[in-house]
Amino acid sequence: MTLRPALFLLIAGLVAGCVSTGDVDPMRTGKGRDEARDAYIQLGIGYMQQGASERAKVPLKKALELDPTSADANAALALVFQIEMEPELADEHFRKALSQRGDDPRLLNNYGSFLFEQKRYEEAFARYQQAAQDNLYPERSRVFENLGLTAMKLNRREQAKGFFERSLRLNSRQPRALLELALISYEDKDYVAARRYYDGYSKLAEQSARSLLLGARLATIFEDRNQAASLGLQLKRLYPGTPEYQQYLSEQ
């Protein structure tokens, strides 16, 4: 199936066509070049969304030829290189994008996620903190969730707990924050809170090895033997070779 045919037509029209008021090449006008750049960016993003990162690079390169300073083109290309496990190139293009739009919370959050993936946790934490400053950003709850996850990697447990709680205040349907708070509450022996967070997580996300072990432990504490056995069987069936299953066996 042809990807985004309207975009192909738009680009073709901009590159080869002329405006109806005369023989003016639209690529010689600022407006025309901006429209072509934006169309190439959208085409590249469309390829990325379909999992065709190799094909995405072609229109994104053309967008940068039209406007080397485009934050959107550089940010999209950074994501392509992140997908393709080219961290040096991804970092380069993230930085180019931020040099043009350094206060963009979406861009800062994406760069933070890249840095987290590279285990550059202190740098990731700093970028997430910058992103969190924009209190009108509609995905701010995820930024706080990311801050919590990064704080955990940095062994800042209490700080992480605060970030997860902040995330849930903004959006109570954040599965990762719910699971992490359930685990923290269990470690603190606050089993009522742990069960509340765990139940919230279970309604929103599929069970993982970590969540199944936690669920089985909580069911045992609250003397729900059927639930404990059921979760234990799921852990055995879905994650038999994991440390969580071995831990479960050792506790029986």
pLDDT tens string 173-191: 999 999 999 999 999 999 9
1-101 and 102-171 have identical folds: yes
How do the domains of the chain map onto residue ranges?
Answer: 1-101, 102-171
Q: What was the pLDDT predicted at 11?
A: 44
Cα distances from 79 to residues 11, 28, 45, 47, 122, in angstroms, run 23, 30, 10, 12, 21
Distance CA 194, CA 219 (A): 11
**Count of other CB atoms within 10 angstroms of residue 233:** 12
Query: Which tokens hold the place of 97?
Result: 């994008």
Q: What was the pLDDT predicted at 32?
A: 75
| pLDDT tens-digit readout, 131-144 | 999 999 999 999 99
Distance CA 149, CA 240 (A): 26
Q: What is the CATH number of domain 1-101?
A: 1.25.40.10
**Count of other CB atoms within 10 angstroms of residue 207:** 18
Homologous superfamily of 102-171 in CATH? Tetratricopeptide repeat domain (1.25.40.10)
Residues 82-90: contacts with CB within 8 Å, 24+ apart? 82/114, 82/117, 83/48, 83/53, 84/53, 87/114, 87/118, 90/114
| pLDDT tens-digit readout, 51-82 | 898 999 999 999 999 989 999 999 999 999 99
